[in-house]
Every structure is written in C-alpha cells, then in structure tokens.
A and B are shown apart, each in its own frame.
Chain A
Amino acid sequence: MALTRPIGWMFAVVAALMLAACGGGGSPGDVHPGTDPAVVPGEPNAFLQFPNPQVQPDGSLQTTSNAYAQAYYAAIDPNNTKDTLAKWKAANGFDTGTGAQLTVVFGDVRDLGFGRRITARQNIDGTLAFYTENYLVKTGGAYAFSPINLEAAIVRDPNALVYVAGIEFSPGPAGGISFAKYFNFNVATGARENMADVDGRGDKAMPGPCIVCHGGRADALTPPDASGNVHFNLLLNAVSGARGDVLGQLPPFEVSSFQFSDKPGYTRAEQEPMLKAMNKWVLCSYPLPKPSTFPEDACRRAASAGEWQGTAAELIKAAYGGDGLPNSTYVEPAAPASWTGAGQTSLYAMVVAPACRVCHQLRGTGRQSDIDFTSYEKFQSYANRIFATVTNRGDMPLAKLVYDTFHASPGEAALADYLVALGLPARDAGGAVLRPGRPIGDPGPDRVVRNGATPLSASNSLFADTYVWSIVSGPNGALPPKDATIMNANSAQPTFNATTDGTYVLSLVASKGAVRSEPKLLSLVVQTALTPDPSVIRFADIKAALQDGKECQGCHAPASALHPPIAFTNYDRDGDGGITPTDDAWFYAEVRSRINFTEIAASPLLQKPSGHHHFGGLGEGFDTTLAPGQPGRAKYDLFQNWILNGAPR
C-alpha cells in the first residue's frame, strides 16, 4: 500500500509528459545530406536552358536531347580522341611540364554555388585548356553556395564532386582558328558524358548548360545526311568555319564574386596572381576589335567584322586598372560610362553586374551587339524582353542561384521600377513587384486569318492549367459580337469561327488553381480573301519570300562579307558537292531553328526582319506597327501564320 501512491503519481506524470513530448515525424528544419534541392512544381524551372530550346514537332526539346550532345562531340572530336578526362588532359598537355599550368580553388558564390578547383594551362602554341572540379555538398536545403563547398574543393572530397567540366580553346579537328569547346566528364570513371546536371534540376545535354551562359548559340541539328547522320549546325558567322564552334567564349574570372578560404595556400592573396594570369589567358582568346600596342593584347587575333568583338576584354582590363593591366589584384570595375552618364549607376550595380553581365557580356556579334548590355542604351533597347523573361517567364536570370539571389535583393525592386517607368507593368495594382510563377495567358500573337474554323492555342501560357476564352468585340467594336463563335472555349486548344470579315478581339484568362491571370487580348483580323490560306503555307512559300530578290539574300548569303548568322540562299549546305533536295531539308531546318515555339513572337525569324536588334533594320513587308492583314506587313503575316501552323515543310 505504501508503494501504490507514489506509483500512481508517477503514472500521472508520465501521462502528462506523453502529452507534452509527442515525438517523431521529423522537424521542418531537418536536413538530410545528399539529397538534391527540391524542385517546386509550378515554379519557374527553365534554368540554364536556351530561351529557344528548339521544340521539335513531337514536342521534345532538341537542345536537351542525347542526340544533341552526341552531334556536338562528333563535331569537335570526330575520332573520340578526347572521350575520357585522361585523354582530354593528355591532348591538352596537362602535367607535361611544358607551357604554363596553374590551379586555383575558390567558392563560386554568385553563379553556380560550387566550390571550384580549376586547373588551367596555356600551351606553347597558345592553346588554352581549363578543367574544373565542381564540388557541392548536397545538404538538401535550398540550392545555394555554402563555404562547405569550398572546403570540399580544398580537400577534394570525392563524395562532393558533382561534375568535372573541361573547356579548351584550340583549333577544330581540321585545324584553323581556335575556338572554345566544352566537355563534361564522369566524376567516377572519367568518361565523357553527354549530359550534365549542373544545378540539381535534371540532366541537360552538352554543351547546353555551358554555352547558354558562355555566349553560345543553340541552333537545331541538321537533318540526316546521306549516311543517315545528323550534324551540329554550322554557324555562318563562326570565323573558324568549323561545326561545333557555337560562338561560345571563355568567361572572365570575376574574382570579386568569389569566396576564398583562410587556409594557407588558398587565401585570396595567394591566389590573386594565378587568377590574374588566368584572366590574361582568357583575354588571349578574345578577338581584338582594333589594333593595340598593349602587351596583354599581343596574343589576340584581329576580330572579323561579323563576329563577337571581345567585349568582355573591357571588363578584365577595367578590373586590373585598364590597358596594360597595371594592378595586381582584381577590383570590381565601376559602371561603364554610358550607365553613369544615364544616371543609372545603381541599376547597373544592383541588376546588371550581379545578374546579367556574366552571360550577356559574351553575347552579340560585330554587327548586332545590343544584347551585351555594355551600354545603358543597349539594355534599354531590350526592356520588353527583360520584362518578358525576368518578370513573366522566369528564365532570366539564367541560373537558379542568380535567380534566387536577384529576387531576394534590392535589384528586383530597382528593375521593376525601371520597367514601370517605361510603361511595363512590373508591379501589381498594389505596388508589389510581380514575380514569375503567376499565371499569364498567352493566346498567341495578333494575326490575320481566313473566315471559317481557326485553331487557337493557349499552350504557351505560363504557369497555368485552365483557360477561359471569350469574344470581347466584333468588327468595328460590335458588342456583342455577331457571326463568331469559340468552340471549346474552356480549353487550351479552342476553335474560333467567324463568318464575317473584320477585326475580332478575343480574351484569354489563364488560371493556376484559384489564381487568375489578367485577361490577355488577341486581335484576329478575318479576311475572306486572304492568300495563301494559313493552313496551306509551306516552307516553299517562306523560302520564296526570303529569296524574292529584295532584301534578305543581299546579306544572308554564305559569301557575304557581313558574315550573317544564317544564309537564306540555296547552296551546298551538306558539302556533298551539289545542291540537292538534302540541302533544301537542311535549309528548312536552319530556318525552323530561328523559330521559338515556346514564345512565337520572340522568334528571330519574326523579330529580326521586323527591325528588332537587326543589323539590316526593318525588312519590306515586316512592319509590325501596322495591323495584321495590312500589305506593309504581309511577309510578317505569312511567316507568322506558317509558324502558328507548326512551320510545316
């Protein structure tokens, strides 16, 4: 009896503890090392991909396919002499005692978040090679840089080695002018790999995740040749004249964006001299737009008029004190004079330098360089596209880490204010900055159609899964509209049918769950007499327009001194000695390659001739200031309707 009472009390206490303790199930803060960062469904996830991923008729993205990588490696290494890291290193002279070789270790805080161990060399013949061991300790949380990654790079933790990238600057298989080539090697076996998962968000085909930021172009592959092989496209404005020269560059080492260890041997002070040497090697790979007497430019070849002009050289020079590179340490350069003069220094410092410059400075050509953003005017000329990509689509900034950093920084608001001042709605009615991820309806571009059934599509809408179409007004603003209907108006693929000519305004509201987009209006100009019927437009019609002897062929020819990015003439594209139907198939693929099926209005095939960032200016028949159906934009309408119909051959 004496024991019964204390035991009873203890049972009571245990019961109370049971209520208080309630363990198990895990805490939200628990982190399991080794797991990839979560990809949240419905949020932007087009990082490290080309804005035009080359959508194929079956809906697949060619630039992310195995075939794309295979064709690339076949172009730059046809005999597989560099299909392992060991062979690649041997081919580039690593550890031979010749030339110069350096190794640096730093944390890539800004761009990809890795701890990076880069071994670089400059060979006696001037060729360059860099291989980068990228270390990421997967902590299962947000994708971000951590000093642990730098630690892993220092100790070379094999468990944290996520991929090994190799870049060489050397002549192509047939010799000639050096250009940059990109490789990815398996971390365990050293075998060359077609795919790289750079940011834990899935495999992407080489060289895509490299060249998308290194100035490269992602044109479509050729159709099969006589042997049944597809090839990497030959870019006409590549000075090397080699397939596989994607116009990619070597990026500067922006030392001020790196983190260094305080461990002896790895401090910034100890690594600055090597990084400066490596930046000088990178500089050697840039073409020189005008003669220079400075020693650091002696290794640079003269730039041809049509190619990228080595814009990033200005950054390297400015960071080391200007011509002659007098300073021993890298200092983040001040904003270029154009930005300062426009009173936009802070916009440059908050937006362009941290979120745009690393990739954009490597883009552009000698004829058309707006996209390098080196001046305020160039940046401003892209305001509409910046709004589309940053505010709406979420595919810029290009890398997930930069994207996250940007949207968590004051730069996001600064850019929104800048866009709002230009009349672009980057803030909502309450003044909040609009971010990608909200539903945005895309009914496709305004267009001219024939009467009768016209298929519509909302498939390029963003972050949406339900759609509501309606007719807002009929010809001459008629309300309610007469003689027109929409079948399946609550679907992504409805059909519009009008029996009376005139302009109809339609509305599309796209939704994701309970969140609805602003109504997006679409003007359809119905013309019974429209020829050709949009449904029968074929490549022959497009080719005829391109080759009608008026404007396009004058510059867009393989022998043109302007070195255009694409030729619109008939020539021996496959190099078999004659102009055959195969050449026409290759021509078609090249033209189709200039179509962005994920955002049709952004297609270079429409943008360029309509005077947007086009050295040739506005082409006849491409005046988009006119309404659809007007003679002054007949070619634009023809091209656009062909594209809307899937650009059939």
Chain B
Amino acid sequence: MTNKIDTNMVKHVAHLVRIGISEEEAQKFSPQFSSIIEYFKMLNEVDTENVPPASDITNNTNVLREDVAKPSMSREEFLKNAPQSERGYVKVPTVLGDE
C-alpha cells in the first residue's frame, strides 16, 4: 500500500462524497492527506488477533417499540426548509440523466 495520496486520488474521493474540488484545492489537500494517513498507520503496531471489532458501547441490543402511528410534522411545515418545492414535494433537477 502506498502512503502517498496524489491529487488524482483526492479528486476521486471528492467526487465519491459529492464535494466539488478545484485543482488548487486538490494540491493543498494531497500532502495533508498523506501525512494524516501515514500517522494512522501506527495502528499496525497493535496486535488485534482475536480481538473483536467494537460495535456497541452501551450493551443495548435490539431496542424495539410498538409500531403505532402518531402525529408527526405536517407536510407544509416540513417543506418550509426545502429550497424548492412544488405540489407538496421537494423539487430537484433531473436525477436520471442521459448517461
């Protein structure tokens, strides 16, 4: 595994998480990412053979409740924060493009 995260990798990850990125930004992030990831490699020193990964720290399991309908926020109230809406729906541009 290489330690260096080059600008192409930075741009690739930015696209995965849907954050627009300029060439200058990719150049700024690249060495920062490399040094942070390099620092994380210290975990390789730890022997975790037979150690289960943590999944929960409260020891709660399967918290269930009755499935009962209750009043919730009205549609009108919910849409107050939507940048664009139409006929009771959140409005966005084309989701399925030509690609």
Is B one of A's binding partners?
A: no
